[in-house]
Each structure stands twice: as C-alpha cells, then as structure tokens.
Amino acid sequence: MTFRTLIRRSLRFHWRSHLGVVLGAAIGSAALIGALVVGDSVKGSLRERALERLGRFDTILDAGDRLISIETARQSSLEYHLGEKPTDQIYHGSVESLLRLNAVVARADGKARANNVNIFGCDEIARLFLTADSAVQINSTDTNRVVIGEWDSGGAIQINESLAAKLNVGVGDQIIVRLPKPTNLSSEAALSPRAGGEVALRLEVSGIVAAARMGNLSFHSTPSHPLNAFLSIWTLGRAVGVTNMANSYASIPFSHGSAKRPSDPAHLAKILTGHWGLRDIQLSLKSIDDQSQYELKSSRIFLDSPIVRSSFATDPNAQPLLTYLATLLRAGTNAAPYSMVTAAGAPWTPSDLRDDEIVVSQWLADDLRLKPGDEIAQSYFLPESGAKLEEVTNTFRVHSVVPLGMPWADRTLMPDFAGIEKAESTSDWDAGFPLTYKVRPKDDDYWKQHRGMPKAFITLAAGQKMWGNRFGNLTAIRFPIPTNEASSRLSYKETLEKKILANLKPEELGLRFEPVREQALKAVEESQDFGGLFLGFSFFLIIAALLLMAMLFQFGLEQRAPEIGTLLALGFTPAQVRKLFLREGVVLASIGGVIGGVGGIYYAKAMIHGLSTIWRDAVGATALSFHVTGQTLVMGLFASVVVSTITIWLALRKFVRRTPRELLAGEIHPEQFKAQSAKSKVIAVVALVGALGLVGWALARGDTPNVGAFFGAGALVLIAGLAFANARLGRLSIGDSMTLASLAVRGCARRRRRSLATMAMLACGSFLIVSIGVFRLDANRDSTKRESGTGGFALIGEATLPVVQDLNTASGRDFFALNEGDLLGVNFVPFRVRAGDEASCLNLNAAQMPRLLGVKPEMLDGRFAFTKGDRNAKNPKSWKSLKDLYWFKEKEIPLLLDEIPAIGDANSIQWGMHKKVGDTIDYVDQRGQPFKVRIVGALASSILQGQLIIDEAEFVNRFPGESGYRMFLMDVPSNAVSKVSDTLSRAMQDVGLELTPTVTRLNQFNAVQNTYLGTFQVLGGLGLLLGSVGLGIVVLRNVLERRGELAVMMAVGFRKATLQRLLLLENGGLLLAGLALGIIAATVAVLPALLSANGELPVMTLTITLGAVLLNGAAWTWGATKFAVRGDLLRTLRDE
C-alpha cells in the first residue's frame, strides 16, 4: 500500500473529524483571501475613478493665469494628428483647447448655491465625449479634423451629476453662473481695476453629463467628486471678454487598432514651440514710427524675467523701460497728482544721472516751479499692495528740465494699464484705487492732450528698486531698427519675433505639459494598501480560525492515537508517520483553502458593502466596486494553504514523539505544568505597580488626555491579572474542600496551562476590542485650545474666487459691507493656495504633488501641536522654521537655492504623501523652474490635513500668478460662531466663501481613523466569537479526557446533573474570568475617554459584541458538556 492510498483511505474513513479542520482552514482562508480582494477592489475602483476624471485626456497643459490662443492649439493639433512624417504612428492624436474658470453657481430662484464649481469651455472634439447621444467615431487616419458648430450656444450649459444633485436642478432649469473675468494684471497689483471684474450669466441646463462621459473632469486628485459645468469655449470666451483664447490644452491620443499610445509631453512641447506666437504669451511687438524702433510690451504690464532674458539675448542693444504711476509729485506746497514717471537710460536720461536725481518735463517744472537742484517728493503705491494700497514716498533732486519734445514727449511710454489706457478723461479712470488727491482742470487737460506721457524720468536702477515686483521689473523693451533693415520693417519684425521665441521655452512661462494620466495611475499604484489594512483588521479572525483548526486537528490525532501507535509498532519511523499525517493535513488545508477562496469573494463583497455603507467614512467619496484578479486568488490560496499547513505541523510535531506503548494505551495527556507561583507573583506586583505609576503620573500632571499612558497602564493590568491567575491556580490545585465550586476551581488548576491559555485568549481579545476605542479621535475635546487639532480656530473658510482685501482691516471689511459690530473679536489668518493633489486621509490616492498653502508664519505662532520637527532645523517644532535660511543649526549650512521649508500634518505626510520629516517633494514653479519642498515639521492630527504650508514670501516668489487668498482660519468668540458664520457667508457669497466649523472639519478627518478602529472591533469581535467556539472545543476535549474521572465520581454518588453543573462552573468560570479581566484592564485604558466631558465610547456596540461572545461561549460550553456526559459513564469505568 502506498502513502497516497493510505492517505486517501484515511481521509475517507475519518471524514467526520476532518470536517472541522476543513472548516477552520476555510474560515482562515476566506478572511485572508477576502482581505486581499478588498485591496484589489479599492485599487481597481481608484483606477476607474482616475481614468474617469481624465476621460480621454492624456496630457494637460494648465496655463494658470495666462491665456493662450485657440488657433495655436489647432495648428499644434494638426501636426500632432498627422505625425512628423506621413508614416509616423508614434505621436497621433488631437490637442484641444479648454477655458477653465472657477465659479459660483446658484439656482435662478436662489434656493441653492454651489461654490468651487469648475466651468469648462470646451473646443470641438472634446465636446463629443460630453455628449451622451454622440455616435461620432474618430478615424485616426483621416487628416480632416472633426469640426462642430458652436455647441449649445444661445445661453445653454451642461452640468455634471454632482452639480445637478447639489443644486437639485434638471434639464430645462435656469441657473446663475458668477465667474471672474480673466485679467492680464494680477488683482493684487495696485493699478488693477476693481470694477467689472466679474460677470453673471443666466443659463439654461441643456443636459446632465454622466461621470462616464467626462462629467467628473478634474486636473487634480481630490477626495470628492468635482462640481463641473460645460459650455462652448466661444460662448464662455465672449462672456468673459477673452474670445479665441484658452488657458489649458489637453491632448487626446487616438486608438490604433487595439493599442493606444500616450502623448509625450516633450514632443507636445516641441510641437507647441513650432506654432506659438507672441500673442500666446500676451506680448505685442509694435512699431514706434517716430523713433525707428519696435517696442515689446505685455498686456500683463510687466515683462516676465525669461522674456527679458530672451529679448537681450536677441539684441544686447535693446533699451529697457519701466513706467509707473506716481500718485503725487510734490515740491513744497505745489503738487501734481497722478503722473507717469519713466525709469530708463539714454536717450531719456543723461549718463551722469544719479539714482537719487530726476529729470522733469518743462510742463512739470512750470507747474511745480522747479529748477535744477530743487527737491521733489514722489509718492506711489507699492506695486503688490493690492487692495491695501500702501503708499510710500521717495525724495529726488532735480537734475535738469527737458522740453515737451521727442524722445521725452512720448505717450507710448505708458503701459496699457487697464481702466486707464482708454479713458478719455481722468474722471473715467478705473485705476483700482480712489482718486484721493484733487485732480485740477489743468491735470485733466494734460491727460486729454498727452494721455500718459511721462512728466519725469529717473534711472532704471532707481525705478526697479521702487517698482520692481514679482511680476517683473520692466514694462517695455525697445529694439532699434538697424539701418540695413529700415527698408524692410515687416521682415525685421518677423525675424525679431522668431528670435525672441526661439530663446524662450514654454515651461519657463508655466506652459508645461503634464502627463496627468501617467501621474494618476502612479497615484493609484502608490495608494493606501487596503489589502494589508484589512488583513490587519482580520488578524484576530484568522488567528482564531487557525487555533480552531489546530485544536480540531489535534483532537482528531488524540482520537487516532492507537492508530499512530500501531503504525509505529509496525515499523514506521516517527518521520514517516509525521510525513503521512502532514500530507493528510495539506490535503485538508488545500480543500479548506479552495472553499475559503469562494468564501473570500463573498467576504470581500461584504466588506466592500460595509465600506460603502456603515464604514463609508473610511473611503470618503470614493465609490467602490468589486474587482478581483486571478493573481490575487492564487497568491491568497497559496498563502492560506501554507499558513494552515504550518499550523497543522506545529500541532503534529510533538505528538508523534511519544512511544507506541503510550499511544496504544491512550496516555497522551501533557506533562503536568510545574508551578512557578513565586515568579508569577513578582511579575504581577511589578506590572500592577507600573500601571498605578503610569496612571498616577498622568493624573498628577493633569494629562488625562494622554491615551498612550493609560493604554500602557491597561496592558500592565492585563499582564498582572494573568500572572496573578497563574500563581493563584498553582495554590488552588490542592485542597480538601468538597464543595462544587472548590472542585471546579481545582479542576481548572490541574490543567493550568490550558486554563490560562483560555483565559488569556479571551482576556486579550476583549481588552483589545474595548481598549482600542481609546484611540478614537474627538475634535470636540479641547477644541478651543491653541495647541489642539483646530489650532483654537472656530471656523475654516474656502473661497471660490481670490480675496485680495485684508479682512483684518476696516477697509477690507467695508469692501464686503461687513459691520464691525458683527465681527467683534474676530481675527482672520489668510492663506494663499496653489492647487494640487489632496493629501488628506479622505483621498485614498497617493498625492504626487500636494496642494501648497502660503501663510505668514508669525500668524500661526503657538497654534497647533508639533509631533516632530527635523532635529537639524534651526527652529525645530516651530512655525519659525518656515523662515529658516539655514539648515544645520550648529554649522548654519544654508538651504539649497532650490529648497524651501514646509510643514504638514503628520497623518498626511505619512499616509497621503508617503514621506517623513526631512524628506523632499519635487515641484515646478510658474517660471518652469524645478524646486524642492523640504518637510521640516509635522503637526498632530489637525484641520490642515491634505496640504503643505510654506512661507507666504516664498509662495509669491514661486507662484507670482496666484493672486489673493482663498483659504481662511478664523478666531471667533465661542458665543458668536453661528452669527459670524451667517454674516460672512451672506456678505461674501459673490466670492463663494464656504465656511465650516473647524470641529466639524476635524471630525471629518477623524472619522477615517475612528472607522478603521470600528472595523477592527467588528472583525475582532468575529474572531472572539470564533474563539468562543474554540472554548467549546477545549471543554469537549477536557471532558472526554476526564470521562474516567467523571465515572468514578458517579460511582461514589455524584449524579449526572451535578457533574454537568460542575463542568459548567469550571469552564464557564474560565469564560467569565477571561472576559472580566480583559474588561477591567480595558477600563483602565479608556479612562481618558471616561474622564473627558466630550469622551465617547461605542458602548452599545461593545456591549453587543461582548454579550454575543459571552452567550456564544456559554452555549458552546453547555453544548460540549451536554455532549460529553451523555451515555453510560460507568461503562467507561468498567472498560478501564
């Protein structure tokens, strides 16, 4: 007979006893495989959502505050569509234009409003994918572009499902869309117009765009579905005054049979540079006829530094100019308001002009009665002061007076200031500031006759020192036309334009193609491992299943002890017997694994249903769907079989070491455990003293929220209880009392190892399930303290449109018609915002480039609690570290030029960014320059999750185009939070301010961890329930081993009912003792929650779980006892 035949027959013969082993293996396998399938499902769902939010787009150029020509996109698209050569199939697709603006959208009846809505103006092919009934097929070999007329023109708009649900509108309903007009000059510039900056459109909803039709289009990964609306780019462009312009390009690769090739950013950039013009970067090159020059100007007023560099590389002899508005020129008691002053070199200023000297026009000299040597004071607004309008004054000495003739009498020296340039009179100015100085008739006459012709001239160095800013330090560059080119001005202009563009790279101006699809898929691959997470949650369940399987297998071995003894007596070696039974166990584990694989799929579906309902907070707005791969099933099955086999081997390895005589005689009881009562007492005393010390230390410091100390104390109480039980059982194993209770205690004591193991399993399980609740987070606890997760702030607000006013000043509040009386005691901490990936725990994807916030560090001094700071930083664990110019505090090594310090929330850094303090993250600024953000500090769980915070000065330097503030933290008196919230929401509804109590926001973040803990408690409870089944198995085994003992007791007069009560007392006592010890220890651990006024424990859930464990254990104990004492016990005595 072969081993295979023996195993097959053994399996058939002992099938009843093997059922329990297979069941245990199946439960463990189902939990393990199910956890891995949950991981597959989460990753698959994230991948679906990532592709859904990008639609057909593969690569995106987001120009930010710049505008680029739609025609350039068309020309680029044609080359991209055809490829570089007729046979080129590598780069093949379309480049589409988008005009993307943020907006506030409301129902026409005013009953609902949505902030932070993305308005997409779409061009041509992109619109096909938004049309549900579109049947247009794009043929990648067709050289003709698909061109559609204006899409939904005439006041119609399509919205996505999320926005429709938010506003509760449908097709045919009217909505009001309030959005900003794109401006060339930043709204933070002092000379930026304040009127007419927004437009309101009344539009009819013509369709609801499903998510599958690009309805959830988004350039960045966010935890919630975006609120989107779509209309024709031509309609939107006309409404906001930027016809034929876009601010984003998106590439759509076409399919080649079954393959689709992604867009290559480098190739797309190359195509763009072959078709772009000065108009795409808001530049114009105009002829100055009277001076035989071409002047390069920007509609953005100030020339970007890369443009300046390129211009002087094109012609080193070019003439730089900087013209700005002086609010007042004063000499003694004489003053001239609102005059242009130009900073330049020759021919406008003499070579010997010093930086503190000025050249004035004859008109100004006559007006202010000036002569060379006189002093003149020049006042002006700081260029970046915005709504604050900080006015400063510099004093100059008059160098000379020049006539009103060329080159000084040149009105083209004034930049094209919007709101001023086309004004017929000074009374028509919309300069972005009130005309506080009196404008005399002669001043208005000067404007009508000469417009913005400068009245004074200073050196370029002096002008750049006063007026240079983050947007640039020149307003124009003039290129003298060479003598040999004078006859062909147009040809020279074209050559000049080509050279300027040739020396520029699109990315230097923020025109950078990003492989968004590749980045999105990378974020999915690096996302939170939910498979591993649920494997941890199911740990108790898997362990309980394996222990159950091991006990059942060992129970079967004990029943088959004579068989094993026979095999050994017949000449089989212990190794052969072990091999035989191990193979049998592998077969059982494999069968259980296969059954568990099927069960694991249903287990995973149940977990996904839980994550979509009761555990919804763990995954935020991510909609989960079931996904499974063959690889996961195979790996899970293999792992479960291996784990089950190892468990069986551990149960088997000692059993076959016994002699054939012991096995044939049934002498398989484990050796008596030698008492070590003294050692156990010492352990108990030490652990108890340690627990009391930790609790006393925390109470003495008044540090009751210190959950770590109390959890440690609870664990020590658990250890002390188990050690004391071990010592006590040793003393109780011998006694002369004959009461039923004392007999039950001595019965437990004689099998002390088994009794202690039972108690320990139940105590540890109940301790963890109850005490894990101490780590539940509650934002209400200490929410008013500055070091809490709220920072002591009451409200957090996010605005759809940037706010340039200082809300901490009277003028800023007046702008929004806010009553000072309603805002008593209210202070604002404003943040600049650079859009990026959400890195909070609400977003399951790994943030590739987290959102950046810019703030003045001193405004957060003493706020929030730092968990860690880089020990090498000059100011560790402090907001001051954002201003550190030096890294190592002892050696004072300066930070690298491309590194800036940042602080983030500890949870976001670890889980959302997969970084740690001291690590760096790569970014690219608006000038196309790469830089690194070094994480120098981590905050304890806070409302600042999901982003990195840097110094505001660094922010505006890296991202000059990001104007204003779009996030606010607000200090509000506790008794006025609701009133202030209502007042601000109403007054600032036009900028889309959405306010949330900080406690509510923090609880949204905390809900993720709390849900994880709840999931662990539920799955741990299932493990405990399964463990209570194991208790029933232990009871059954104990009673069957003691049938002879029970028969003797019956022979001396005990009745069967009495014996059954004895067994119930003995084993029920272990059940109660284990649960009681675990609950007592857990009570110590959860003291912080019990002592806190805002403390909260899931009492009902814990009661139900522990009650179910108790009832289940009692039922299995009763059933095992009933089964074991059935039949004629006296026959057992006669057999012995």
* pLDDT at residue 761 is higher than 90: no
What the block records as the tokens of 750 is 């004689």
Q: How many CB atoms lie within 10 A of CB 1087?
A: 21
Q: What is the DSSP letter of 658?
A: S
Average pLDDT of the segment spanning 1030-1054: 71
Residue with tokens 């922010």: 955
Residue 667's pLDDT is 56
* pLDDT at residue 888 is higher than 90: no
- The 10s digit of each residue's pLDDT in 362-392 is 999 999 999 999 999 999 999 888 777 889 9
CA count, 13 A, side-chain hemisphere, 1015: 29
484 falls in which pLDDT band (50, 70, 90)? low
Residue 970's pLDDT is 94
Element of type H or E holding 228: strand 227-232
Say what percent of the chain tops pLDDT 90: 23
What the block records as the tokens of 829 is 């901490």
* pLDDT at residue 197 is higher than 80: no
Element of type H or E holding 926: none
Average pLDDT of the segment spanning 700-722: 74
Q: What is the DSSP letter of 889?
A: T
For residue 468, the SS3 value is coil
Element of type H or E holding 715: helix 707-732
What the block records as the tokens of 135 is 């049947």
Q: Mention every residue, 6+ apart, whose C-beta is less than 8 A from residue 697.
A: 709
* pLDDT at residue 144 is higher than 50: no
Give phi and psi for 746, each to the nearest 5: -65, -30
Residue 81's pLDDT is 54
Beta bridge partners of 837: 850
Element of type H or E holding 930: strand 930-939
In 3D space, the residue among 63, 131, 129, 132 whose CA is nearest the CA of residue 98 turns out to be 63
Residue 730's pLDDT is 63
What the block records as the tokens of 545 is 């299943």
- Name the residue ranges covered by the structural domains of the chain: 3-47+530-665, 59-180+188-276, 281-377+388-510, 677-778+1006-1135, 795-1005
460 falls in which pLDDT band (50, 70, 90)? very high
Q: Mention every residue, 6+ apart, whose C-beta is less than 8 A from residue 389.
A: 190, 381, 433
150 falls in which pLDDT band (50, 70, 90)? very low
Contact 730, 676 (CB under 8 A): yes
- The 10s digit of each residue's pLDDT in 654-688 is 666 666 666 666 555 544 444 456 778 888 888 88
Max CA separation in the chain (angstroms): 137
Contact 659, 564 (CB under 8 A): no
Beta bridge partners of 803: 965
698 falls in which pLDDT band (50, 70, 90)? confident
* pLDDT at residue 458 is higher than 60: yes
Q: How far apart are CA 592 and CA 11, in angstroms?
A: 14
* pLDDT at residue 179 is higher than 50: yes
Residue 734's pLDDT is 60
Residue 695's pLDDT is 79
Q: How far apart are CA 832 and CA 854, in angstroms?
A: 5
Q: Report, in this order, helix, strand and coil percent for the chain, each rounded to 5.
A: 50, 20, 35
Q: How many CB atoms lie within 10 A of CB 77?
A: 24
Q: Mention every residue, 6+ apart, whose C-beta is less than 8 A from residue 597.
A: 29, 30, 33, 633, 636, 637
Among the residue ranges 45-59, 636-650, 1085-1099, the one predicted with the least confidence is: 1085-1099
Own/partner pairs, 379-382, CB within 8 angstroms, 24+ separation: 379/326, 379/327, 379/328, 379/329, 379/330, 380/324, 380/325, 380/326, 380/327, 380/466, 380/467, 381/190, 381/191, 381/325, 381/327, 381/433, 382/190
Average pLDDT of the segment spanning 519-541: 80
What the block records as the tokens of 9 is 């027959």
Q: How far apart are CA 457 and CA 343, in angstroms?
A: 6
In 3D space, the residue among 325, 518, 515, 501 whose CA is nearest the CA of residue 423 turns out to be 325
Residue 135's pLDDT is 34
Query: Hey, what amino acid is at 1021?
Result: G
In 3D space, the residue among 638, 643, 632, 636 whose CA is nearest the CA of residue 543 turns out to be 643
- The 10s digit of each residue's pLDDT in 239-291 is 888 888 888 888 887 654 444 455 678 888 888 888 888 988 889 998 886 66
1030 falls in which pLDDT band (50, 70, 90)? low
Q: How far apart are CA 45 and CA 849, in angstroms?
A: 21
What the block records as the tokens of 858 is 């001193």
Beta bridge partners of 965: 803
In 3D space, the residue among 595, 592, 589, 593 whose CA is nearest the CA of residue 646 turns out to be 589
101: left (phi over 0), alpha (psi -120 to 50) or beta: beta
- Degrees to nearest 5, angle at CA 527 with 526 and 529: 105
Give phi and psi for 44, each to the nearest 5: -65, -40
Average pLDDT of the segment spanning 599-616: 85
720 falls in which pLDDT band (50, 70, 90)? confident
* pLDDT at residue 709 is higher than 90: no
What the block records as the tokens of 552 is 């059942």
Choose from 430-434, 752-756, 820-824, 1020-1024 the range with maximum mean pLDDT: 820-824
Q: Give the CA-trace dihedral at 231, 235, 240, 241, to 10 degrees.
A: 150
- How confident is the prediction for the chain on average, in pLDDT? 81
Report whether the peptide linkage leading into residue 407 is cis, meaning its omega lies within 30 degrees of zero: yes
Give phi and psi for 513, each to the nearest 5: -80, 125
- The 10s digit of each residue's pLDDT in 16-33 is 777 878 888 888 888 888
Say what percent of the chain tops pLDDT 70: 83
In 3D space, the residue among 232, 235, 228 whose CA is nearest the CA of residue 214 turns out to be 228
Among the residue ranges 304-313, 776-785, 916-925, the one predicted with the least confidence is: 776-785
504 or 575: which carries more pLDDT confidence?
Answer: 504
86 falls in which pLDDT band (50, 70, 90)? very low
Q: How many CB atoms lie within 10 A of CB 768?
A: 22
End-to-end, the C-alpha distance of the chain in Å comes to 34
Q: CB burial class (10 A; 0-12, 13-18, 19+) of residue 520? A: buried
* pLDDT at residue 79 is higher than 70: no
Q: If you write DSSP's letter for every residue of 132-172 in order, what string do you get?
A: TT------TT--S------TTTTTEEEEEHHHHHHHT--TT
Choose from 297-301, 382-386, 490-494, 1073-1077 the range with maximum mean pLDDT: 297-301
Contact 996, 795 (CB under 8 A): yes
pTM: 0.80
* pLDDT at residue 912 is higher than 50: yes
* pLDDT at residue 948 is higher than 90: yes
Q: Helix/strand/coil (H, E, C) string of 400-430?
A: EEECCCCCCCCHHHCCCCCCCCCCCCHHHCC
Question: Going by DSSP bridges, is the β-strand pair 930-939/899-905 parallel, antiparallel, or unpaired?
Answer: parallel
- Chain mean position to CA 817: 35
149 falls in which pLDDT band (50, 70, 90)? very low
Among the residue ranges 151-165, 257-271, 572-586, the one predicted with the least confidence is: 257-271
227 falls in which pLDDT band (50, 70, 90)? very high
Residue 8's pLDDT is 78
Q: How many CB atoms lie within 10 A of CB 338?
A: 21
Contact 899, 886 (CB under 8 A): no
Q: How far apart are CA 809 and CA 828, in angstroms?
A: 10
Q: Tell me the H-state helices in 171-315.
A: 233-240, 265-275, 305-314
Average pLDDT of the segment spanning 75-88: 57
Contact 399, 372 (CB under 8 A): yes
Residue 1133's pLDDT is 60
324 falls in which pLDDT band (50, 70, 90)? very high
Residue with tokens 């009105």: 411
Average pLDDT of the segment spanning 578-591: 84
Query: Hey, what amino acid is at 463?
Result: G
What the block records as the tokens of 629 is 């791969």
Q: CB burial class (10 A; 0-12, 13-18, 19+) of residue 55? A: buried
89 falls in which pLDDT band (50, 70, 90)? very low
